[in-house]
């Protein structure tokens, strides 16, 4: 015993070495996983252990000196714990404690997240986590498809996110957070803002082709995946889809008005519809077979009138609005390429600068005419339509005429038909020979009768003269015969 250092023994027994610093490995809603450093020279010595204390009730856990890792379980979620570890040796001598203050278990995550997006905003709501505590707050982040990240804090179970891009997908994360920043598991929710409507929507129905409507618009704000077009036609709606920023809707009726809606499509709800009224165009009116043979014709010595039965006028490519008549007297005038003569007048024809001229054009209103009342067009009446004179023809003249039917008539600034803009069909030629001038006929008859009368009187005079001459010669002959007998 004389060799034992009593002071050193007392020091070892009274002051065991303290453990190393406490490290928190992980935190869960009901547990904390921690690690601390081993007390120097204590791990192999007998009679030593670690005393771990936590929570406000100073709950104690004793751990073998060979173990420096422990999971505290059955804890309260979202609750802060002060944790201490000390070394305990023989005779319950204890070292100084090492501490880890305010170690908070994770709170539970929110439940039932919901989104109510509009075009530029999203209203996010959720249900509070179980075991909710008054010091909780909610950390929200949202990220658009172009990877921009935004953050905000809410102290209630909702947030209204503004100034977003329309038609865009957003990844929104809601995380419960304690006052010291300890966070729950993140609850993600994906949603898309509504698409923005199209802008500057216009339409036109082109003439001379199919019965189509061409739509044009400006690119809407935000993002879009396409566009939906709906043609409202009574009880039936026809829908098609297309891309920015033009679209053609076909298989429609000629010269008909349609209500058309356009919706922008996106990853979320489509935009509010933009509506426009569109009128389809017209095409060349069909000419029925044997059209010219079905016409009724009346004439005199200077004019002729064509009567067109209304059932010969085909409105299937759009209503016929005007009907005109081309006239020619030249035998060489052909039925092909007659449209170039729609700008030729009576004066051009009279001056021999045109083989064919447009005599006149009359309006044709379908709704105001009975099916039994034909359309009449007269040539040679001395009337005028625009710059076109419809002057008299030559008596006994032989003419050709052709009918022009317009579904769209355009005029230029000088009063001539605009051939390139107008829509029309022209028939083949048919012929007509006018009557003789009755005045000339009666003059001719009078002259003839006069001549015959004069000749008759001359003849009568000659007969009288001859008879008188015969009578004078007869007595002389008789006297001579009597004298001979004496």
Q: Which residues contact 299 (CB under 8 A, 6 or more apart)?
A: 305, 432, 434, 435
What is the model's pLDDT at position 110?
97
Question: CA 8: distance to chain centroid?
Answer: 97
Whether omega before 364 lies within 30 degrees of 0, making that bond cis, reads no
Please report the pLDDT score of residue 235 as a whole number: 66
Q: Can you give the pLDDT at residue 58?
A: 74
Using CA atoms, how far apart are residues 41 and 15, in angstroms rounded to an integer? 12
**Sign of torsion over alpha carbons 324, 329, 330, 332:** positive
pLDDT digits (tens, 9 = 90+) for 119-132: 999 999 999 999 99
Poorest-pLDDT segment among 12-21, 32-41, 177-186, 198-207: 12-21
pLDDT tens readout for residues 81-137? 999 999 998 888 999 999 999 999 999 999 999 999 999 999 999 999 999 999 999
- What's the CA gap between 341 and 334, in Å, rounded? 11
Cα separation of 7 and 121, whole Å?
Answer: 76
Domains of the chain (ranges plus CATH)? 6-104 (2.60.40.10), 111-192 (2.60.40.10), 199-279 (2.60.40.10), 292-433 (2.60.40)
Query: Which pLDDT score, from 0 to 100, does residue 464 have?
Result: 78
Query: Which residue, chain included where needed, has tokens 């929570």?
Result: 55
d(CA 474, CA 257): 107
pTM above 0.95, yes or no: no
DSSP label of 310: G
* pLDDT band for position 205 (cuts 50, 70, 90): very high
**66-70 own/partner pairs: CB under 8 Å, 24+ apart:** 68/19, 68/20, 68/35, 68/36, 68/37, 68/38, 69/25, 69/33, 69/34, 69/35, 70/33, 70/34
Q: d(Cα 305, Cα 377) in Å, to the nearest integer?
A: 6
Residue % of the chain over a pLDDT of 90: 73
CA–CA separation, 243 and 229 (whole Å): 10
pLDDT band at 440 (very low <50, low <70, confident <90, very high): low
Helices assigned H by DSSP within 143-275: none
* pLDDT at 482 exceeding the cut of 50: no
Find the helix or strand (DSSP H, E) in which 422 lies: none
Report the 10 Å Cβ neighbour count for 169. 16
Average pLDDT over residues 204-233: 94
Distance between CA 159 and CA 130 in Å, rounded? 20
How far apart (Å, rounded) are the C-alpha atoms in residues 405 and 275? Answer: 34
Q: How many other β-carbons are positioned within 10 Å of the β-carbon of residue 388?
A: 23
For the segment 257-262, the average pLDDT, to the nearest whole number, is 95
**pLDDT mean over 282-300:** 95
b/e for 279-289, b at 16 or more Cβ within 10 A?
ebbbbbbebee
Give the whole-angstrom CA distance, residue 339 versus residue 289: 20
pLDDT at 485: 42
């Amino acid at each position: 015993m004389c060799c034992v250092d009593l002071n050193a023994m007392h020091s070892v027994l009274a002051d065991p070495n303290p453990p190393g610093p406490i490290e928190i490995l992980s935190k869960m809603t009901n547990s904390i996983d921690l690690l601390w450093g081993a007390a120097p020279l204590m791990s192999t010595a007998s009679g030593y252990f670690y005393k771990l204390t936590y929570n406000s009730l100073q709950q104690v856990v004793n751990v073998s000196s060979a173990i420096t890792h422990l999971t505290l379980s059955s804890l309260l979620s979202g609750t802060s714990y002060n944790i201490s570890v000390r070394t305990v040796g023989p005779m319950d001598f204890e070292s100084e404690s090492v501490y880890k203050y305010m170690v908070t278990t994770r709170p539970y995550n929110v439940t039932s997240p919901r989104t109510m997006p509009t075009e530029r905003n999203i209203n996010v709501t959720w249900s509070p986590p179980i075991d909710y505590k008054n010091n909780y707050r909610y950390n929200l982040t949202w990220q658009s498809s172009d990877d921009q990240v935004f953050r905000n804090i809410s102290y209630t179970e909702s947030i209204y996110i503004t100034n977003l891009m329309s038609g865009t997908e957003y990844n929104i994360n809601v995380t419960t957070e304690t006052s010291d920043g300890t966070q729950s598991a993140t609850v993600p929710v994906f949603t898309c803002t509504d698409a923005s409507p199209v802008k500057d929507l216009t339409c036109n129905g082109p003439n001379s082709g199919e019965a189509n409507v061409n739509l044009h618009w400006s690119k809407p704000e935000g993002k879009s995946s396409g566009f939906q077009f709906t043609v409202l036609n009574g009880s039936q709606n026809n829908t098609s889809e297309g891309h920015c920023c033009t679209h053609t809707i076909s298989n429609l009726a000629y010269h008909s008005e349609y209500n058309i809606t356009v919706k922008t499509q996106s990853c979320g709800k489509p935009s509010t519809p933009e509506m426009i009224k569109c009128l389809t165009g017209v095409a060349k009116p069909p000419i029925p077979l044997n059209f010219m043979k079905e016409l009724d014709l009346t004439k005199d010595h200077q004019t002729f009138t064509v009567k067109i039965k209304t059932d010969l006028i085909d409105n299937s490519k759009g209503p016929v609005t005007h009907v005109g008549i081309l006239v020619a007297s030249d035998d060489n005038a052909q039925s092909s390429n007659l449209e170039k003569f729609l700008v030729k007048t009576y004066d051009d024809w009279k001056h021999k600068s045109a083989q064919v001229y447009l005599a006149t054009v009359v309006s044709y209103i379908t709704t105001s005419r009975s099916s039994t009342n034909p359309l009449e067009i007269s040539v040679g009446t001395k009337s005028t339509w625009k710059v076109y004179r419809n002057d008299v023809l030559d008596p006994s003249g032989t003419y050709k005429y052709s009918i022009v039917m317009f579904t769209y008539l355009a005029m230029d600034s000088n009063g001539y038909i605009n051939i390139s803009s107008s829509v029309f069909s022209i028939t083949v030629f048919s012929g007509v020979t006018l009557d003789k001038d009755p005045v000339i006929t009666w003059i001719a008859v009078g002259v003839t009768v006069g001549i015959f009368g004069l000749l008759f009187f001359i003849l009568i005079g000659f007969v009288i003269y001859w008879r008188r001459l015969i009578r004078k010669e007869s007595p002389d002959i008789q006297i001579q015969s009597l004298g001979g007998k004496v």
